[in-house]
Amino acid sequence: MLEIKNLTLRYGHHLALEDVSLTVAQGETVVLLGANGAGKSSLLKSVGRLVQPAGGDILLGDASLLPLPAHEIVNRGIAIVPENRGIFRAMTVEENLRLGANPARARTNEALMRGEIFALFPRLAERRQQLVRTMSGGEQQMVAIARALMSRPDYLLLDEPSLGLAPIVTQELFAALDRIRQTGLAMLIVEQNVKATLTLANRGYVLEAGRIIGSGTSEQLATDPLVQKAFLGSAETV
């Protein structure tokens, strides 16, 4: 289990996260909802060891991740797809995947992983020699996710994967995420596309101004008046 425990994060005097606790069990899909600036990316960056929390802990099983350097996180089985996608646009799809297989835990099964990933993203299989910068936004997001999967993670953390994508492309992306979910990989998804993510996820949390203000199953969140008002743009049941 991945556990965020009473996490507090400050940027100078700004309190970005305050006493945040959440869990993601193996095989579970969890969504983190929150308006712009709520602290969602900061939470993922804390797990990725890109920022240093002021208090609390991040545990994988019984072990704290806080003493570890950023590059060690992926070796522990946590892959993060950042909002800016973290891919190499001047390289081909194939080259990006090869770089994703760099962590020690991924090297032995590189060819096998590539086969599995192309089965999850058939569109990438057709385009394996294409330069990423010539691809559409949706395809680039798929490359970013595929690259993260090459490290054979147990937990995949996604920061707004559908940001900037057309609705039809978003649909295709969520179909791919659903196929990934069915492989048993655990996911923590930060998303603005609340409706689609709640359909995919088992559970979720609501973050507001750095604090968790609500949590529940996807069904509970979808019918929660607070969630409807803030994220679904209506007072009706989804």
Applying CB under 6 A, which residues contact ligand ATP?
11, 14, 16, 34, 36-42
- Judged by beta carbon, residue 9 or residue 124, the one nearer ligand ATP is 9
Instruction: Quote the least distance from Cβ 58 to ligand ATP, whole Å.
Output: 15
- Judged by beta carbon, residue 106 or residue 173, the one nearer ligand ATP is 173
Instruction: Quote the least distance from Cβ 18 to ligand ATP, whole Å.
Output: 11
- Judged by beta carbon, residue 34 or residue 48, the one nearer ligand ATP is 34
Please state, as a whole number, how many other Cβ atoms lie within 10 Å of the Cβ of residue 193.
Answer: 22
Instruction: Quote the least distance from Cβ 178 to ligand ATP, whole Å.
Output: 23
Max Cα–Cα distance, the chain, nearest Å = 51
Checking 120-124 for CB contacts under 8 A at 24+ apart, the result is: 120/146, 120/149, 120/176, 120/179, 120/180, 120/183, 121/145, 121/146, 121/176, 123/172, 124/93
- Judged by beta carbon, residue 87 or residue 190, the one nearer ligand ATP is 190
Instruction: Quote the least distance from Cβ 118 to ligand ATP, whole Å.
Output: 31
